[in-house]
Structure 1
Amino acid sequence: MLKKLIFSTLLLSSVSAVHAKTDIDFMFPVPVQGKLAQEMNLLTKQFNESQDDINVTPIFTGDYDSTKMKAAAAQKAGNSPSVVITAANNIHDLVISDSIYPMEEIIDTTGGSAEEFLTNEFWAALHSNAMVSGKAYAIPFHNSTPLLYYNKTLLNEAGLSVPQNWEEVIQVAKVLTNKEKNQWGIMLPTINTDYAAWILASLTYANGGQFYNPDYAGEVYYDAPSTIGALTFWRDLVYKYEVMPSGVLDNNAISSAFFEGRLGMAFLSTGALKFMKDNSKDFEMGVAFMPAQVTRGVPIGGASLVSYRGITDEQKKAAGVFINFLVSPENAARWSQATGYFAPRKSAYDLPEMKKFMQDNPEAKIALDQLQYAKGWYSMYDTVTVRRAIENRIQRLVNEPDYSPEQAAKDAQEEANKLLEPYVSKTALKKLDP
C-alpha cells in the first residue's frame, strides 16, 4: 500500500511537472488617455486562456518614466520582468547599461534573424529606435507621431482653413482666441514626462534642424538655431500673440478644454486619437499633419517590447511566445483600433477588418500618411534626465515672461552636456602618446 502511495505521488508530481506553467511578469505603461489599461488586461487574459504553458502576470506601471524605473528596480532586486513595454527612445540607454537582451535570444522568427524580422515586417521609420549597431534589441508594439487636432466646427464657422505652417497656426489661433469666453486658439503640452520634449523635437524637425545625433548617444542640439527657433515659436504663442495660456499644461487640461469647445487646436499624440474622437461629442473634430516651417518633420513616439536580463531560459522562451502574440498582425490591428496608435507591423493593414476600419475612420490614415516625414525619437545616454533638462526650461518659458528662448537653450545645453559627460568621456578618442 505504501509503495502504491509513493508511486502515485511520484506519478502525480511527474504529471504536474510536465504541465507546470512558466510564469512571466509583464510590465506596461499607459502614457496617453483612454482605456488602454483595460484593453491590455483583456489582451493578456486572452493569451493566458489560449494555451496551457505560460502564465503572464500583467503589471500596470504608470507612465513611461515610472515604468523604466520600476523595471530597473525589479531587475536589481533579482525579479527581472520578462517583457516590458518601454518608451522606444529608452532602447539605446538600456543597451548601454546592458539591461536588456538582444532579440535574437528571445523571439523565434521561423528561420530568419531578429534583424530581418524587424526590417521586413515593421515600418522603416521605427528601425532606428529598435536597433543599436545593427542589432535588434526591441520589437515595436505601438507607435505614434504628433498630430494637429482641431475643432473643425470652430474653424468652419470662422471661415478658416487648416493651418499648414507656423504663420498660419498663429493667424488661425488669433481668430479662435476669445478670452472673455476663456477660449484659446491653441495649446501644447508642457509637462516634463516626455510630452514637452517630444513636441519640441517635432517643431525642431519642422524648422529644418536635428534634435540629437542619431548615430552617437552623447550629443543633443538644444542650443542649435533650429531648436531656439522652435522654442521662440512656443514662447510667442503665450506672450507675444497671447493665443495660449501661460503655465504648465498637461494633456488632461488640454483635452478637457478641447471637449468643452474652448480650444481651437492642439498638438497631441496619435495615441490619443480614439479618446479624442470619442469625447468630441458637441462638435466635429479634425486631425491633420503637424504644420511645417522650413520643412515637414515629426519624431516617432510610442513604445517597444523588450526583455530584461536576469530571467531563466524558460522565461526567455515564454517571453518570445508572448511578444510574437502581441505583435501578430491581428493584435497589432486590434490595438491600433482600440487606441489610435498606428500599427507598427505593416501586414496589419492587409487584414480585411483593418481595411474597413481605415475606410470608416479616415482620420486614422493621417497618422499613417505622416510617416513619410517621420524621424527617429531622440535617444541618448541617460535619456530621461537629459530630456528633462530641456523640458524644465520649456516650463520656465511658459511661466516667466522675462526668460528668453536663447537663455533656455543655453541652460538646457549646459545641463545636458554635464549629464552626458560620463558617456562622452568613455567614448571620446584620447590623444595617443607618440
Structure 2
Amino acid sequence: MRWLPSLATAALAVLAPALAGAQTKIDFFFPVPVDGKLAREMTRLVKVYNDSQKDVSVTAVYTGSYDDTKLKAQAAASAGKPPAVVLMSANFVLDLKLSGDLISLEPMLKTDGTTRGQFLADFWPALHANATVDGELYAVPYQNSTPLLYYNKDHFKEAGLDPEKPPQTWAELVADAKKLTKGNGDSVERYGFGMPEGYDYMGWLMEALTMSNGGQYFNDEYGGEVYYDTPTMLGAAQFVEDLVFKHKVMQQGVVEAGGVSTNFLAGKTSMVLLSTGSLSFVRDNMKAAYGVAFVPRNVRNAVPIGGGSLVMFKGLNDEQKQAGWKFIKWLTSAETLAGWSRFTGYFAPRKSSYDLPEMKDFIAKNPDAKVALEQLPYAKPWFATYQTVAVRKALEDEMQAVLNGKKKAPQAIKDAQRNADALMKPYVDQTALKLP
C-alpha cells in the first residue's frame, strides 16, 4: 500500500496548476455619460487590473448612459446574472437600495477591520451623503463632478469683456451673454450661453440653479419629497425661459450635451455649463483660449455633486462578493483615482490623490483642474428619491416644454410637482404616519 501516498502526491501535483489558476469571474458595468475617450480608457484600466493579479477576472461591459446602466444592471440581476460591480449614477443609490437591488458594503468593511467612518475619512465630505443610506455604506465614490462654467476668452476680448473676469452672478451672466451673442439678420451666428437640456443633465443643472437661487431641490433625508413648485425653483425655471425668449442669448429647443460641447468648441456658443467630467475633452480639443469658473449665483454659491459611484448588486455568491470588493478597492485607490481624474477631468474623490507627486505636477500645469475642488465647499448632495429617474424626468419634461415654447415656467413647475408627487405616492403612503 506504500504506492498510495505517491499516487495522491502525483494527483495533487497534477491538480495544483489548475487550482492555482482558478479565477473568480465577474462582470463590471460602466457608463460613459460625458465627452471623451472614457470607454477605451476604462477598458484599458480593467486590463491593467486583470494583468496585475490572478485571483479575479473582470469583464468590462460598456452600458451607455447612467440611465441605461441602471436599467441594464437591474435586467441582468433579474435574469439571475447580476454584475458584481456597477459604476452607477451616485444619485441612484437611494432608489436602488429602496428597491432591494443593492447589497450593503458594511460586511466588507468589517472583514477588512475598518469602519464606515474610517473608510470614508479620505473621501471629500460632500460625497458622503450619496454613498450612504440609513447609516450604511452602499456605494464608493469613483468619478465625481460639479457643474462648471466654461467660457471662450477670445470671445470675451472681442466683446470688450475682461477674459479674466467671468460672470459671477446671474445678472452678470445675462449682461455678458448679450454682448457675446452675434446676430446676422434674422439668424444668430453665435449664442452667448448654452447648457445641456437632455435627460439627466437638465435635472442636474436645474438643481444647481435652484440651489444657487437659495433653495432646495429635494428633501435629502426623505425619499418622497421634492420642491419643484417653490419660489426658488420658479426663479430658476424663469431664468432659463428668459435666457431663450426674453434675452435671446440661448438657443431655443432642447440641445443635448454633445451639441452644447460641439457648439462651444466650434465657437458657436461663448459660455456653457458643463460637467467637470468634460474638462479633459475641452482641454484637448478647444483651439481658442478658454477659462473655467464657478456656476454663477443669484443668492448664493451652491452646486450639486454629480458623477458615479461603485455599487454591488444582490444575487452574488460569496466568491463574487469578495472579488467585486477587491476590484472596487483597486479602482478607488488614491493612485487609480488620480490617474482617472487626470485623464477625464472628474475630480478625484479621495483627498490623498492630490498628495501624489504626479497629481501636484498635473495641477500646477493645469490650474483649471482646481476650480471644481475650490467649488466643493459649496457642494450639496445630488438629487435622490424614490423612483429617482422618473421623478427627475417629471421636471425635465416640463422644462423641455418651456424651452420649446410650449409652456411657461410658472405652469411648468406646478405640473412637474403634481406628476412627481404621483410617482412618489407609493413610498409616501408606505412611510407617512396615518393617524385615525
Which TM-score applies when normalising by structure 1? 0.95
**2:28 maps to what in 1?**
26
Q: CA deviation at 1:259?
A: 1.1
Equivalent position to 2:191, from 171, 184, 187: 184
C-alpha separation between the residues in 1 aligned to 2:219 and 2:145? 21
**Which amino acid is the alignment partner of residue 137 of structure 1?**
Y
C-alpha separation between the residues in 2 aligned to 1:133 and 1:76? 25
Q: CA RMSD in A?
A: 1.8
C-alpha separation between the residues in 2 aligned to 1:23 and 1:215? 37
State which drifts further: 153-162 or 103-112: 103-112
Q: CA deviation at 1:12?
A: 2.9
**1:388 maps to what in 2?**
393
Are 2:74 and 1:56 equivalent residues in the alignment? no
Q: CA deviation at 1:8?
A: 5.7
Q: Percent identity?
A: 49
**Deviation sequence 1:149-201 (CA, Å, 0-9, x none):** 00011112222141110011100110111122620000111101x10000000
Are 2:75 and 1:76 equivalent residues in the alignment? no
* Aligned positions, number: 428
**1:130 maps to what in 2?**
131
**1:334 maps to what in 2?**
339
DSSP 3-state at the match of 2:129 = helix
Distance 1:277 1:366, change over 3 A: same
**Which amino acid is the alignment partner of residue 242 of structure 2?**
D
**1:35 maps to what in 2?**
37
DSSP 3-state at the match of 1:71 = helix
Gap runs ≥5 in structure 2: none
C-alpha separation between the residues in 2 aligned to 1:115 and 1:23? 30
**Deviation sequence 1:295-322 (CA, Å, 0-9, x none):** 1100000000000011110111111110
Q: CA deviation at 1:339?
A: 0.3
**Which amino acid is the alignment partner of residue 285 of structure 1?**
Y
C-alpha separation between the residues in 2 aligned to 1:123 and 1:327? 13
Distance 1:49 1:338, change over 3 A: same
**2:213 maps to what in 1?**
207
C-alpha separation between the residues in 1 aligned to 2:89 and 2:182? 37
Are 2:272 and 1:266 equivalent residues in the alignment? yes
**1:198 maps to what in 2?**
204
Q: CA deviation at 1:114?
A: 3.1
Equivalent position to 2:321, from 316, 322, 338: 316
Equivalent position to 1:296, from 281, 294, 301: 301
**1:325 maps to what in 2?**
330
C-alpha separation between the residues in 2 aligned to 1:107 and 1:87? 22
DSSP 3-state at the match of 1:143 = strand
C-alpha separation between the residues in 2 aligned to 1:72 and 1:369? 36
C-alpha separation between the residues in 1 aligned to 2:260 and 2:409? 23
**Which amino acid is the alignment partner of residue 218 of structure 2?**
Y
C-alpha separation between the residues in 2 aligned to 1:332 and 1:107? 20
**2:238 maps to what in 1?**
232
**Which amino acid is the alignment partner of residue 235 of structure 1?**
E
Equivalent position to 2:254, from 228, 248, 261: 248
**Which amino acid is the alignment partner of residue 399 of structure 1?**
N
C-alpha separation between the residues in 1 aligned to 2:36 and 2:116? 32
C-alpha separation between the residues in 1 aligned to 2:127 and 2:425? 28
Are 2:359 and 1:359 equivalent residues in the alignment? no
Are 2:150 and 1:146 equivalent residues in the alignment? no
**Deviation sequence 1:322-367 (CA, Å, 0-9, x none):** 0010010000100000000000011000001101111110000001
C-alpha separation between the residues in 2 aligned to 1:78 and 1:114? 29
State which drifts further: 254-263 or 334-343: 254-263
DSSP 3-state at the match of 1:302 = strand
Distance 1:419 1:17, change over 3 A: same
Are 2:166 and 1:162 equivalent residues in the alignment? yes
C-alpha separation between the residues in 2 aligned to 1:81 and 1:63? 16
Gap runs ≥5 in structure 1: none
Whether the 8 Å CA contact 2:131–2:139 is kept in 1: the answer is: yes
Whether the 8 Å CA contact 1:107–1:317 is kept in 2: the answer is: no
DSSP 3-state at the match of 2:418 = helix
Whether the 8 Å CA contact 1:109–1:117 is kept in 2: the answer is: no
**Which amino acid is the alignment partner of residue 178 of structure 1?**
K
Distance 1:201 1:109, change over 3 A: farther
Q: CA deviation at 1:5?
A: 9.4
C-alpha separation between the residues in 2 aligned to 1:12 and 1:255? 58
DSSP 3-state at the match of 2:130 = helix
DSSP 3-state at the match of 2:315 = coil
Distance 1:198 1:225, change over 3 A: same
Whether the 8 Å CA contact 1:183–1:262 is kept in 2: the answer is: yes
Are 2:182 and 1:173 equivalent residues in the alignment? no
Q: CA deviation at 1:20?
A: 0.5
Q: CA deviation at 1:108?
A: 6.9
Equivalent position to 1:410, from 394, 399, 414: 414
C-alpha separation between the residues in 2 aligned to 1:209 and 1:345? 28
Whether the 8 Å CA contact 1:105–1:316 is kept in 2: the answer is: no
C-alpha separation between the residues in 2 aligned to 1:407 and 1:322? 48
Q: CA deviation at 1:113?
A: 1.3
Whether the 8 Å CA contact 1:107–1:324 is kept in 2: the answer is: no
Whether the 8 Å CA contact 2:109–2:115 is kept in 1: the answer is: no
Q: CA deviation at 1:18?
A: 3.8
DSSP 3-state at the match of 2:149 = strand
Are 2:96 and 1:94 equivalent residues in the alignment? yes
Whether the 8 Å CA contact 1:27–1:67 is kept in 2: the answer is: yes
**Which amino acid is the alignment partner of residue 60 of structure 1?**
Y
**Which amino acid is the alignment partner of residue 155 of structure 1?**
F
